[in-house]
Amino acid sequence: MEIKITAMKGRVPVQVMHLHGDLNSSTYEAFQSKANELIKNGTQYILIDLTHTPFISSAGLRAIHSIYNQLRAAKPDRNDEEIRKGISAGTYRSPYIKLLNLSSDAEKAFSLGGFDMYIETHTDLLKAVSSF
């Protein structure tokens, strides 16, 4: 897997992680390590571009969830109970992490895993960046 980082500016600075290749048990550690490095260096908002990622395994989904947790812990906006209630009510979406251009198979896995309940997905880069 190849990972390229692009800094973009909307209302806030957003780091876009462009992934090229499957996000699976062989590649999730490199992906998570790169995200950890961004967060350690002060990144608060991450857009994950999956345009060139045809497949995401459960390991990849766990890595995305781990990144969500790290970003939320770095700048908590609500407590766990408020977030759980918001997810159940369909009113909470993470302000820190969003995804761009999931393949149809990845979108199915994302939805089946319940990730779509708290992480937004987009199909347009500029709209995604401006949504932060």
Residues 6+ apart with CB under 8 A from 12: 44, 45, 132
The tally of domains found in the chain comes to: 1
CATH, residue 73: 3.30.750.24
pLDDT in tens, 68-126: 999 998 777 778 888 888 888 888 899 999 999 999 988 988 998 889 999 999 999 99
90: left (phi over 0), alpha (psi -120 to 50) or beta: left
Predicted local confidence at residue 76, as pLDDT = 72
Predicted local confidence at residue 32, as pLDDT = 97
pTM: 0.91
Q: Classify residue 103 as exposed, middle or buried by CB count within 10 Å of its CB (0-12, 13-18, 19+).
A: middle
Domain of 52? 2-130
